[in-house]
Structure 1
Amino acid sequence: MPTPPASLPSLPAVELHALLAVSFSALALWRPLYGPDGAAVTDFACEYLNPAGQQMLGQPERPEQTFLTLFPNACENGLITCCCRVFATGEAGHFEANHPADGRDNYWHLAARRGGELLATSFTDPAGETTLRANHRAEARQAELLAAAQRRAQEREEFAQVFAHTPAAICIQCGPAHRYAYVNAAYQQFFPDRQLLGRPVAEALPETVDAGVVDLLDAVYRTGETYYGHEQPLLVARPGGQAPKPMYFTFTYQAYRENGEVVGISTFAFDVTEQVLARQERERQRQQLEDLFMQASAPIVVLDGPDHVFTLVNPAYQRFFPGRELQGKPLRDALPELADTPVPTLLRQVYTSGETCVAEEMPLQMARSAGGPLEEMYWTFSFQAHRDAHGDIDGIRAFAQDVTASVRARQQLQEANQALTESNRQLTRTNTDLDNFIYTASHDLKAPITNLEGLLHLLQRVLPLPARQQEGVQPVLDRMQQSVDRFQLTIAQLTDLTKLQRAAAEPAEPVDLARLIEDVCLDLAPQFAATEARLTVDVTGGPRLAFAPKNLRSLVYNLLSNAVKYHQPGRPPVVHLRSHRTENGAAVLEVQDNGLGLNARQQAKLFGLFRRLHDHVEGSGIGLYMVKRIVENAGGTIAVSSTPGIGSTFTITLPGTALPETTTAV
């Protein structure tokens, strides 16, 4: 009796069935059936009978029978127990029992097969030399086939070890249903929650049916021709109601042959999802960037390669050259007038070094239309290296801005500023000459007027009394004296004008405004008494103001003296002097009176030099001019609001420290 192998070879079912079919012994493959507890084997289902086994048992190749159905006395004679032991331990065994049909002795050879099957071998040993020799020959042939199968199993085991550690996903699918016979770890990782081995692909991966995968496998199985798939998409179902996961594979389906016949398909696949999604993202970003370039208001072009070929020209750039074709042309052909300019050199430097270059307000002679006249244009460029997916420079992005209008406007402004500077220089010289003239005139006129005044006094002393008492003599002498007085006043004010420009440079210092007003009022006391004037002072925001003391006194004096001088006849003057703080920290000084008032035409001439708007009151017309000059030299402003017959309000705004509230009546 031959000794069975320790275990059956780990061959796909198609190959194992082909091997068992040529055996003269009755052979069967059984799969265990478990009891309700799932732990113990209670029976075996017959999955395959070779031809000898079919003849012996009178059953088809795949009978729908269990072991105990075909062999009802297997429990009593211990055969089922022996089968369970071989299946549990993996060690081969044998069992002798009577055939249930004719009572002849049968010898069972039992061997476990990896994958959960059991091989049961049954043969009958009748008396007779011929039959025994035939059986010996059959057993020898079976041993040879089994050895060959073991060699193939060993080879497949070695290949399986290689396949198990390769990053490629590999599987073998057998039969027209493409049932999984082998999957390596890399393939199983594609579908970590799926049971693949032993199942047809349409059952294990139903999503492959709609994706056309099964059709491809059918074609390879039918024709034997290898199929190459490149980055094929597949929506892989996920558990728990999750949305399908998009995956991409590059793979080959290759026919698997036995004895020249296609018995299955081997698959070599690579998951390229990450690469495809990364490329799609780069393409999305590239398209987004291109859309941004095309919609940008700034002129943008992309130049490709060392010849700087226009591969992208946005509308803003093309509008500068409406009659010229740029797309697809090298720079030297599209804009030949740039050949002798710095632009080609700058582009080569950026293309070689990768460093960004910015050229501001570059003057270029360019034609807007093909064959058109050259015109001077000013451009500001930014040249940036464009890199491919490997980081190598393959082009240049150029951002351009036509700044011709702004450059010419600045040039015109510079010319205007130069002209203004020259005008200011001439005006300064004129003002200096005028100041020198005023100073010289006032200085040179002092002596004659003084002499004239002395002669007038001498005349009044030496003139006999009868002569002075003659009709008209004394009034003439009085008018002469008044003229001399006015002349002296004018000379004094002209002298003040020459000092005004020098006083503008005097440093500011804290001034007690309330005390300064009191001092001015003492000087004006005779005028206040003569006109019965009433002055109300309301100073708020603090007792001090940062200003040049002489200039501030001149402001207050002139405004208060004018308020009293130009009062309404028959109405005592009422003057209000107020001060308050502004939000930006400036001090505002207001002088309001109830005097004659001014119409709009008079207000327009109010601050002119030597402007006198009321002839019935003596004056030189220089006081308010000096007030305006002092205020403006200090960076302040002066404004007037006036109504004829009602009065006027002068408002001076001066930068400085605000004053606290106090109220003083004079």
Structure 2
Amino acid sequence: MQLGTGDIAELVSRTDWEALPLGAPEAWPHALRTIFNLMLNSKFPMFVAWGPQLAFLYNDAYSEILGQKHPKALGRPFADIWSEIWDDILPIINKALAGEASFFENLPLTMLRKGFTEQTWFTFSYSPVFDESGAICGVYCTCTETTRQVLAERERRDEIDRLRDFFQQAPGIMAILRHPSHTFELANQAYYQLVGNRELVGRTVREALPEVEGQGLFELLDQVYRSGTPYVGRAVPIKLRRSEDGDLEQRFADFVYQPIRDSAGQVSGIFVEGSDVTEAVLVNRALQESEERLRQLANTIPQLAWMARPDGYIHWFNDRFFDYTGKTLEEVEGWGWHVVHPPETAQAGIERYKTLIATGEPFEMKGALRSASGEFRTFFTKTAPLLDAAGNTVQWFGTSTDIHEFEQAQEELRATSRRKDEFLAMLAHELRNPLAPISTAAELLKLPGLKDGQIKATSAIITRQVSHMKQLVDDLLDVSRVTRGLVNLQRKPVSLTDVIRDAVEQINPLIVGKRQSLSVRYSDATAQVLGDHTRLVQVFSNILSNASRYTAEQGEILIQVQIDGGGEHVQVRIIDSGIGLEPQLLPHIFELFTQAERSPDRSQGGLGLGLALVKSLVELHNGKVAARNNDSGQGSEFAVTLPVLGAAPDTSGLANAAASTTDEPSSHRQR
């Protein structure tokens, strides 16, 4: 028998057909040989099942479907070859044997052809085969395996389902509009919720959302469809009627109108995607209003105030800050505020600030800030986070309070406390010193047989020491009365020449003892003031006493009395050539307990009360007192300024006093 070419044709020639139902090919019916030759020359999978046992013949293309069943399947009964699917296809075979052709598309069959069971799908047709007499003697099948296509289609459908689920479940609003009329093809649940769960699909936007007319959205859709250019909207206000009988409700949405193009590149629809941001907009508006109120409040307080983002970036300062620093927002915004801090600490201050911001907790700082004039003043800064309902930091608010005077006052209090402690130590020393000679004298008086001269000498020691202690106590009481305002001045016209003469007489022994030179110069010896003669003598004797004590032997002291140009004030300057004033003590020289020499044994003596008493008494006379070191670098100068009363009616005494500057060396020019 002449057969076609191919693997199956060769297999036929090598097969022992005597043991098979069909027998030798030369004896096959003409109809069988004809259809078999047709199959062998086809590239499409085919088989024929012939005779009572439905002996199975197939072509090369079908052999791939058989898998491991090939080549043993050739010529064997159909039922033996496909036993695992026999129950599924037998009804189809029977219909063909009954003369009825069948066609099936993607019929599922569970096959065992590769050593394991697998689910397959086939599209095929079964047709009856007739012999020369017209009798049905077999079944002819053309088929193709569609397993891959079916699985791919299933995957495609699954993917579509997943995309549809994603589309429907997406938290943002989504919709697909088709045609220039913008007809809803799809809309997800979020979109339905936004517009009030009304009917959308199959309706145009103008039909579905009539209340949006006049809000500009329909015109935007028309523009996007015509131009093919996307539109992006942020916090766009939309008024919607979200229930059938409800009022218009203001909503806000972020959205994109994205053109959809067909295979030809033409716009065929619009994809709508976005989010309902109404709550966020309302919260942001409330935050902005709150921030504005906070800004207004911050501009009314005396402190410097500022606000920062959650990361600490400062974006706002109050007016007080700009007034103080003289800077603009552009100069100090962000991290630029370091320019108002001392250069040597600015970078470290920024790093510490960032570290504290990272904690999310309130914090405090203290440091110096430069004013517009260049002065650095100390500020105390308090910073706290402003939190949202979830406890997240939305921004920081800080105030900086000027504590420069407070810091100085605190330091002054500490210095005063130190001086008080030192004064008490000095006072204890001064009060204790007389006790030793008094105690010794008392013991001497107990001795029998003392002579009158010894008793008098011993009593004199006690008297002197008691007098010294009394003077110390009187000084303390005097300072206490003056500083508490308990002194009543006996005010009357007083000649400054008399006052200075009496003051010089009081300290004369000290000056003479140290062989010092004292000169008095008057520009007007008739100057009078309204004051207490005794207290004014106390003022100048205290200053002169200090000048003498702190001036070396044979040193010089000069008193100058002069009227100012307007004739309203008289100034008395006491200038010495002594050791001068210590620079660190100069600002505190008139404060209580201030002493130039602070060791307990103080060779210069004194309790540090005299100059404080001087200042209080001068101020009680409506005057002022100042101290400075001489320009020459040697010695100091004290200047007392008092209001002038006017010239005295009788000036003869003052003239004599002025003349005594040279004629009376014991009083006014002494060595």
Tell me which interval the TM-score lies in, with the shorter structure as reference length: 0.3 to 0.5
TM-score of the aligned structures, taking structure 1 as reference length? 0.41
